[in-house]
Structure 1
């Protein structure tokens, strides 16, 4: 019995020692393999990194070129979109779509006489200068152009006074209609000041009259634009007045430039009746001279 127990214990000891040896040998083998793997890894990593850089370099260059090209295209697209947006804003700002057609057409027709007298003033000034330099005008003689120019003066100044008075009277109509509320003397004042400034210009020398009316048109536009912004006039009235005032102002400036080119030989001290009589007399005289010249040429042909 004793011997059997001792034999069993020795057998168990031998088995446990053999298992420990096997475990130790397995751990050693794993450690050895790990050392070998660790020793060979830097070479593999270095080789793989070099291959990756060599493979990735052309792709990286292409990506850089593509990104720079796409950035330029995006910048051009953004610039074009910005220009289109700004053009749309300008178009919407100066749009007259909301203006009633009747008011738009009649307003444009109302500036035509002012524009026509301005262009005629510039042309007659050219004729006067041409006659003084070359002895005769292109269509009219120097004296005829001068008289016609003096006849245009009261027409242009008088028409400007009428338009200014009309623009002032609009505010009386808005007050009577109660557009935007009742404002009393504040709105009536615009209708009173406009003719009070416009009609005395008929007594001024033409240059001073045109300058005064230019300032009056500008002031009335400023007042009308403020009224439209404040709701005391239709919202489209400010832009409508801007377009018409721009045409009238450009016509006045053109007239002043044209008159500035005329020499001081023109005599402004004539009444309208004197100007009409002198123009008729001149036309009659020129017709008689042309008839006499024609008869003289006919007589010379008969004598030959």
Structure 2
């Protein structure tokens, strides 16, 4: 019995080993390889390689490309929008339609105002530097303060002249009948300007500048309305805006410069001090006249 079992197992092992050797010989056979290759080609999908690669691309790659293309388009649109806005600003502030004579003379007219403002800032720096270190860079502290006080009436008086000139323009427009006849309505604009400008000469310097700043702003508003309504040339509004901006910036720079030396600057006599000094002088002169009269009467006696 034991021999039968051993014989059966040996026979099974021989059969399995023979089948494995047959399978190996078949796989190593070139003809069998060709058949396998042809059958694999037969069952291979017929899709194109490019489509297959595109189908297997990661989704993130497509999203990144879409985002980059979208961002480049956005940058182009943004640059185009900025150029368009810059062109609008350039056209808005353009002074090409202003007559060259009026443009050149107007710009030259604000030069003295701008020069006095810059000089005030420079002298204020000298005074402040002298107060901190004991000496200025170019001038001494006392010389700079004296020159500063000399500039004050120049700047205020010139501002009053400009304001009066701006008011007189409306009289000229009314006489020329530009946009029609408006009578007292347009004459009033020419009268109000000098009526507000010249009393500022009696005010302390800072208050005078602030008053003139408000007057310049009001006149620009009135001139802009006149240009919009056809009572003045259409270019006059922008022309006045540019000139008023320069004058207003000069006034602000002057006030800032003087604010830096408010503590070290000698106190300026206000209009009240000047009036009190005038009253005191008149009273003193009357007392002197009365004393002379009494002395003359006593001599006669």
Q: Output the TM-score relative to the length of structure 1.
A: 0.68
CA separation in 1, counterparts of 2:49 and 2:133?
A: 91
Specify the alignment match of 2:266 in structure 1. Answer: 266
Specify the alignment match of 2:14 in structure 1. Answer: none
Specify the alignment match of 2:228 in structure 1. Answer: 229
CA contact (8 A) 2:204 2:269 kept: no
Question: Could you say what secondary structure the match of 1:252 adopts?
Answer: helix
CA separation in 1, counterparts of 2:50 and 2:146?
A: 95
CA contact (8 A) 1:157 1:209 kept: yes
Alpha-carbon offset, residue 56 of structure 1: 5.0
Alpha-carbon offset, residue 64 of structure 1: 5.8
CA contact (8 A) 2:127 2:264 kept: no
CA separation in 1, counterparts of 2:226 and 2:211?
A: 23
CA separation in 2, counterparts of 1:180 and 1:58?
A: 76
Question: Could you say what secondary structure the match of 2:192 adopts?
Answer: helix
Q: How does 1:194-213 map to 2 (within 5 A)?
A: 194-213=193-212
Specify the alignment match of 2:105 in structure 1. Answer: 106
Alpha-carbon offset, residue 161 of structure 1: 0.2
CA separation in 1, counterparts of 2:198 and 2:72?
A: 61
CA contact (8 A) 2:217 2:244 kept: yes
Give the gaps of 5 or more residues in structure 1.
Answer: 1-46, 271-304
Alpha-carbon offset, residue 69 of structure 1: 3.4
Question: Could you say what secondary structure the match of 2:164 adopts?
Answer: helix
Specify the alignment match of 1:150 in structure 2. Answer: 149
Specify the alignment match of 1:13 in structure 2. Answer: none
Q: How does 1:78-117 map to 2 (within 5 A)?
A: 78-117=77-116
CA separation in 2, counterparts of 1:51 and 1:256?
A: 78
CA 1:63–1:259 in structure 2 vs 1: closer, same or farther (change >3 Å)?
Answer: closer
Specify the alignment match of 2:139 in structure 1. Answer: 140
CA separation in 2, counterparts of 1:117 and 1:83?
A: 38
Specify the alignment match of 1:184 in structure 2. Answer: 183
CA separation in 1, counterparts of 2:53 and 2:256?
A: 75
Specify the alignment match of 2:290 in structure 1. Answer: none
Alpha-carbon offset, residue 71 of structure 1: 2.3
Specify the alignment match of 1:164 in structure 2. Answer: 163
For the aligned residue pairs, the C-alpha RMSD in angstroms reads 2.7
CA separation in 1, counterparts of 2:240 and 2:120?
A: 25
CA 1:80–1:58 in structure 2 vs 1: closer, same or farther (change >3 Å)?
Answer: farther
CA contact (8 A) 2:200 2:211 kept: yes
Alpha-carbon offset, residue 77 of structure 1: 1.0
Question: Could you say what secondary structure the match of 2:110 adopts?
Answer: helix
CA separation in 2, counterparts of 1:155 and 1:112?
A: 13
Question: Could you say what secondary structure the match of 2:95 adopts?
Answer: coil
CA separation in 2, counterparts of 1:82 and 1:60?
A: 35
| In the alignment, structure 1 residue 249 sits paired with structure 2 residue 232 | no
Specify the alignment match of 1:57 in structure 2. Answer: 55
CA contact (8 A) 1:150 1:268 kept: no
CA contact (8 A) 2:128 2:264 kept: no
CA separation in 2, counterparts of 1:56 and 1:140?
A: 80
Q: How does 1:31-42 map to 2 (within 5 A)?
A: none
CA separation in 2, counterparts of 1:131 and 1:66?
A: 65
Runs of 4+ off more than 3 Å? 47-56, 58-69
